[in-house]
Structure 1
Amino acid sequence: MRIWEADLAIDDEFYEPGRFVTLPACEIGFAIGHKNVYFPATEVAHPAPDSSSVEALFASLERREALVIPHHTNVHSESSRRTFWTEHDFTTHDPVFERLIEMSQNRGSFECETVGGNVSFGELGSSVWSALQHGMKVGFVGGTDTHRGLPGEWRSPLAGLDPDESPSVGGLTAVIASGLTRESIWNALWNRCCYATQGQRTLLNFALDEYPLGSVISAAAVERFAHRSKNRDTGFA
């Protein structure tokens, strides 16, 4: 695990609270989809030795703080010579660790099943919409898949895409955090207080009364909010 140890050292070298935040992470490939695993600090062992299956990965994380993010969910590796993986299997979902899902990256958007616009791959039943229909309570993140550490980079020729014919920037994740530290960024991601864009640096905040973005609330709370909103519109208290 020399590469992992070197990565952790680089994370610490470039971490500058208040200016630039690094979080240790790795990608682990399974036949039923790839996962990006994030940790809040660098005092952590690589999860790969305990990751012979998705179930083994989750079992190995039981006593650790970690986020597991389904990666390029609605596409498969049909032309890969090195490894083979299918569209994501959401029946393996773990609600403890899988609190986020990748909405966009340099293969395009995985928001819905219908191909068109920024959605280059679909109709496989593993889009973000499909995840929500499975009852998954997840926030949305965006990234790239170039493995070059260039946020929002333009598409590389992955999965047969021609970057000249299909110009689209990679995804970005916006995090609504109380500060620019590992702890603040981690807490915001853990609480799903974040959103994905298709490369645009859009500033957005959303809350429902005292419930911030990413909250899980009851139907009764929604009804109370709707009732108050209606009263405001009609001028009644």
Structure 2
Amino acid sequence: SGLDFCAVTDHAFEIVDWMWEESKKVTNSFNEPGRFVTFPAYEWSGVTDLGGDHNVFFLEDDPPLYRSRSYYDYMNLQMYHGSDPMVNHIEDLFITLACLQENENIFCIPHYGGRKANPAFHNPRIQRMVEIFSEHRRSHDWASGFLMNGQRLGIIASTDGHFGNPGYGYLKPVEDWDNQEIGMAAVAVYAQERTRESVFHALYNRRVYATSGDRIILDFNADYHPMGSEFASKTPPELHVKVIGTSPILRVHFRKNSLVAHTVETSGREVDLKWTDPQFNPDKETYYYVQVEQENGEEAYSSPVWVN
């Protein structure tokens, strides 16, 4: 599948301690700086009212595992449960992870899974991105709810596959697809190096964009501030997007505060566009990002830039 980095995010409520130790061991064994990057990670799963699914990622080799009691079979598995405490609400998870956080070494991503993440809960140090695509669904309306709540989150995608083939080096048999699954969604990262530290910090700082599966190349900036940036400006910033598609590009949408503000119809596989918002208000906080639509139905979304 041509991946540069990967993380396995098994449900924490299904992992007993020896499994977590084995998962970290295998994850670290496949981390090869300059060639392939892996991260220790898991999916914290509480019901939506308690925060919903969040994928938790670590920079260090040997992080703890915090489970939610919502789905953990405690009576049958407590004999395998070690010293890491149960964390039953997403706010408690934020506090627990913040106590471990040092130099941007932890983040979590709200996930639209079986227990979709709840935008009512937020910690800006811990939550750094939101998932817009997975193999199961496209969820712009849900993801934009986080942004419209004032949360400054990058936009990512992940395969969220359950077949052991991240990024889909081969396609699943047709009979294995249900009517919700749409492809092999993936996140792209602008990192200095193919190392765990460089990729992790690029993710943390939202230098990322989401694709529904095709390896679309997308670059977006505002007055040369890259996606994920926050900056102040008294004048409307020039928004600049470059795209190299895998199929003819039908249109590029410039989104302002999650709503389409300007659309450019295009053709061909490469575009280079600039736009300045004629209704920019320097007294209000505004965020911009772009959406790319291809002829073959594949899409890409940049992370936002926040102005003022």
TM-score range for the pair, normalised by the shorter chain length? 0.7 to 0.9
Verify: 1:163 aligned to 2:182, yes or no.
no
Supply the distance in 2 between the matched residues of 1:205 and 1:20 (Cα, whole angstroms): 23
Select which of 29, 32, 44 maps to 2:45: 29
State the Cα distance separating 1:21 from its structure 2 match: 0.2
Mapping of residues 54-133 of structure 1, within 5 Å: 54-63=90-99, 64=101, 65-72=105-112, 77=114, 85=115, 87-112=116-141, 127-133=142-148
Q: How many aligned residue pairs are there?
A: 200
Match of 1:135 in 2: 150
C-alpha contact 1:17 1:182 (8 A) present in aligned 2: yes
Q: TM-score, normalised by structure 2?
A: 0.59
In structure 1, stretches of 5+ residues that fail to align are 78-84, 113-126, 231-237
State the Cα distance separating 1:164 from its structure 2 match: 6.0
C-alpha contact 1:17 1:180 (8 A) present in aligned 2: yes
C-alpha contact 2:54 2:117 (8 A) present in aligned 1: no
Mapping of residues 194-209 of structure 1, within 5 Å: 194-209=208-223
**Which one has the bigger strand percentage?**
2
State the Cα distance separating 1:50 from its structure 2 match: 4.0
State the Cα distance separating 1:42 from its structure 2 match: 1.0
Cα-to-partner distance string for 1:210-229 (whole Å, 9 max, x where unaligned): 41111012243x53658xx8
Runs of 4+ in 1 over 3 A off after TM superposition: 152-157, 164-167
State the Cα distance separating 1:4 from its structure 2 match: 1.2
Return closer, same or farther for 1:88/1:13 CA change in 2, 3 Å cut-off. closer
**Which one has the bigger helix percentage?**
1
Match of 2:58 in 1: 39
State the Cα distance separating 1:41 from its structure 2 match: 2.0
Verify: 1:214 aligned to 2:250, yes or no.
no
C-alpha contact 2:206 2:228 (8 A) present in aligned 1: yes
In structure 2, stretches of 5+ residues that fail to align are 1-16, 68-84, 240-274, 277-308
Give percent identity, aligned residues only.
31
